[in-house]
Amino acid sequence: MEPPKRVPDGYEQFNAKQLEEVGYYKALEMALGYLRRSQESIDSIDDIALKIKRDKDKTRRDRDIDIACGYLERYRKAINSNSYNKALEFNRDDYTVWIIRGDAFGYLWRKEEAIVSYDKAIEIKPDSHKAWHHRGIALSSFNRYEEAIVSYDKAIEIKPNSHEAWYNRGIALRYSGRSEEAIVSYDKAIEIKPDYYKAWDNRSEILFYSGRYEEAIASYDKTIEIKADSHKAWYHRGIALSSFNRYEEAIASYDKALEIKPNDYLVWKFRGEQFSKLRRYEEAIASYDKALKIKPNSHETWYNRGIAAFKADSRAPRLIFGSTIATKNPHLNQRGYEGALASYKEGLKYWHDQDSSLSLLFPREKLHQAIGNAHYLQGKVSSHPHSYWYEAVNSYNKALKTFTQENYSESHLDVVQDLIRVLWDLEDTTEAKKWKRHGLEAFTKLFNSKETFSERQQLAFDFISFSQMRVDVLVEESEPVLALEAAERNKNSYLTWILDAQKQNVLSPNYADMQQLTDHTTAIVYWHLSPFALTTFVIKPNTAQPSVIPTPFPLGDIESWVKQWNQQYEESRKSKDKQLEQQNNWRGNLPDMLNRLGAFLNISGILSEIDDESIQNLILIPHRDLHRFPLHALFPDYFTTTYLPSAQIGIFVQQIESTNNGEVHQLLSVEHPNSTGFDVLPHTEIESAAINKLFNHANNQRISGEEATNATVKEALATQYGIFHFTGHGSYDFEHPKQSALVLSGEDKLTVEEICDIQQIAEK
């Protein structure tokens, strides 16, 4: 309903008799129109009255509200005194009176009576667009969305170009869980009225909450183009940008939101998180301080501030954005371990007055856990770690008092992981084993309680350490067969989910199936890494169970070795100073580094276990970081070694081989691409020639040098060659495994995701 252009002079002095002459429904329509125009966010007459009472110096807008309030208050009295019914006695077939009567009831939140009025209007005039439309609004207010959609459909059938009906229909669809249809409805409203801000805003929200951030960003951009002062649009746009790691743009978006609403602590908090991700910790702390000045009982912000303080350079200049946080407590100016503790402990002071809603989202016990983590990490770099680690145990136990298995299942598991870690480092194996068993029981119970595959899968990803710990516990209980089968099942599950996140059926062999890969000349060396132990299984032919080879060194020594390997490799790869490269020659250090790795993996113990002259072939099945190292170099030259990601993949290849009856496979060989920024690998031409000679087939294909582009290699792979051989560089993405890639000619790469897509197309 469109409001009149202005308030008629003297209208606010109308008495009851004059209102009757004008017509109740006309006067009410005018009053409601002014109300809508004046302040859309007002929900009730009482809200208006409070505002008018509070504002002594009224602007023109306030006077409009005052006038509207006066009319609405009169109509409240009119409804209560049965004035509408008296008016309807003169003309009960005036459907417009019924509509406005319904609107009056609606604005007074007497929705059921409003629907009765709209139904009466429709009975009189079935093709009344307004009656159907307003009926839909009233039904939506009762959460009767399906009935509301039917009403909106009737309104649209009568008036297809009603952008408001399409918009309200979208709202009903959204809240009934039909998001895609809601977007279509909003799109229709926008098609009719391209600058309809509300439709753009709601459309953006659906995309945002559906995780379709790229589309949401584009939609928010349009929202902002129409209504540049939309705080919510700038705020949500920042979150969406952050999901794409576009942190600088996210900060700019948050800054715009703060220009509109400077006291939104959530925006300050999220802004701080972006600076932390950019490792600009002082700016992050300054943002967190602004958030805490507005809402000092936000435990999550204190937690984030502590992490930033822990990572911040103690020599960096402080950035205090006019905050009183550090002024009130000078300890908050500290950085590193002391700075982190100061933040966490300050946050704990506010636990008595924390909002119940905040407590559910981020319980204060997280701060106890964070204090434990700070003690633990400080112990890792201290020459006397035990005193810090005992403090960590105390903090974790405080967190577990509230994070019970029943009330906070996932948080409980998270703290238990940390507790096991520190107990293990304290060499309190009895207590550590007790908590490992407890954690496994709690994890299994929670896993089985999840109703959907995606929920169980996400839990398995979040708490992968418990699946890995199960292998350790089974080894401790002298169940090597079950331990090996559990290790293999874990590998196959994660390999399957990495390649196809929706695939629920995971193939995994038992011990007897794995033994089929062995024969009188072949044995398997199978490694498994948990957060607390390295387990080595040796599988030989005709044995009832695998042998478990002990590791004489603590897992921390192996982790330190991996860190040193990574550091030396990166320094050597990036070094442009040839003299420095010679001093820190990664290749030159290989013999010493590999000798140390051989000791950590107890290669001598593995060889003693094999100790059979007939064994000439070894199948190596590494785990986690061990995949990246030349493990074959640790064994004597008389062994022929083969690598497998898991035993299941070896069984699958074996089954394919059995169907070929000795036929030679066609070979696709991609050889030494001219990759930008990478050195040419030595001896690759000799290797490629030897491989082609070994798999001699008339239809072999060789792609090399500049020809090895993404398009060329993908086209060749789509023809399903039996063997694919690649000599060149690769890139490894730990966070996003499917983005790991083969480095091709120029800037081209071929990712794991692209290879999977090629396979799916070929299978179709």
Residues 6+ apart with CB under 8 A from 21: none
Per-residue pLDDT tens for 522-554?
A: 999 999 999 888 999 999 998 999 999 998 888
Report how far residue 705's alpha carbon sits from residue 540's, in angstroms, rounded to the nearest whole number.
43
SS3 662: coil
Q: What are phi and psi of 670, to 5 degrees?
A: -100, 120
Topology at the third CATH level for domain 664-763? Rossmann fold (3.40.50)
Domain boundaries, the chain: 1-81, 89-193, 511-646, 664-763
- Quote the percentage of the chain above a pLDDT of 90: 34
Report how far residue 307's alpha carbon sits from residue 429's, in angstroms, rounded to the nearest whole number.
30
Q: What are phi and psi of 528, to 5 degrees?
A: -140, 130
Q: In 143-227, which ranges are continuous DSSP H helix? A: 145-158, 163-175, 179-192, 197-209, 213-226
CATH 3.20.90 assigned to 511-646: no
The whole-number pLDDT of residue 663 equals 64
CB atoms within 10 A of CB 544: 8
SS3 459: helix
CB atoms within 10 A of CB 380: 11
- In the predicted model, residues of the chain with pLDDT beneath 50 are 1-71, 74-75, 77-91, 319-323, 356-358, 761-762, 764
Element (H, E) at 484: helix 480-499
Architecture of the domain defined by 89-193: Alpha Horseshoe (1.25)
Q: In 501-577, which ranges are continuous DSSP H helix? A: 511-515, 555-574
Report how far residue 285's alpha carbon sits from residue 280's, in angstroms, rounded to the nearest whole number.
9
Report how far residue 154's alpha carbon sits from residue 166's, in angstroms, rounded to the nearest whole number.
11
Domains 89-193 and 664-763 share a fold: no
Report how far residue 646's alpha carbon sits from residue 648's, in angstroms, rounded to the nearest whole number.
5
Q: Which tokens go with 335?
A: 């950085």
Residues 6+ apart with CB under 8 A from 546: 480, 481, 484, 511, 526, 537, 538, 539
Distances 724 to 318, 599, 619, 720, 729 between C-alpha atoms, Å: 56, 34, 19, 9, 15
Residue position matching structure tokens 């002082």? 282
Beta bridge partners of 535: 528
Give CA angle at 105 (99, 111), nearest 5°.
100
Length of the chain: 764
Q: Are 393 and 369 in contact (CB under 8 A)?
A: no
The whole-number pLDDT of residue 5 equals 31
Q: What region does 90 belong to: left with phi over 0, alpha with psi -120 to 50, or beta?
A: alpha
Q: What are phi and psi of 487, to 5 degrees?
A: -60, -45
Give per-residue burial for 641-657: e unless 16+ CB within 10 Å, then b. ebebebbbebbeeeeee
Dihedral sign (CA 143, 148, 149, 155): negative
The whole-number pLDDT of residue 46 equals 36
Report how far residue 162's alpha carbon sits from residue 136's, in angstroms, rounded to the nearest whole number.
14
Q: What are phi and psi of 529, to 5 degrees?
A: -115, 125
β-pair type (547-549, 617-621): unpaired
The whole-number pLDDT of residue 732 equals 79
Report how far residue 694's alpha carbon sits from residue 697's, in angstroms, rounded to the nearest whole number.
9
The whole-number pLDDT of residue 578 equals 53
Report how far residue 357's alpha carbon sits from residue 297's, in angstroms, rounded to the nearest whole number.
12
Taking the alpha carbons at both ends of the chain, their separation in whole angstroms is 56
CB atoms within 10 A of CB 661: 6
The whole-number pLDDT of residue 80 equals 47
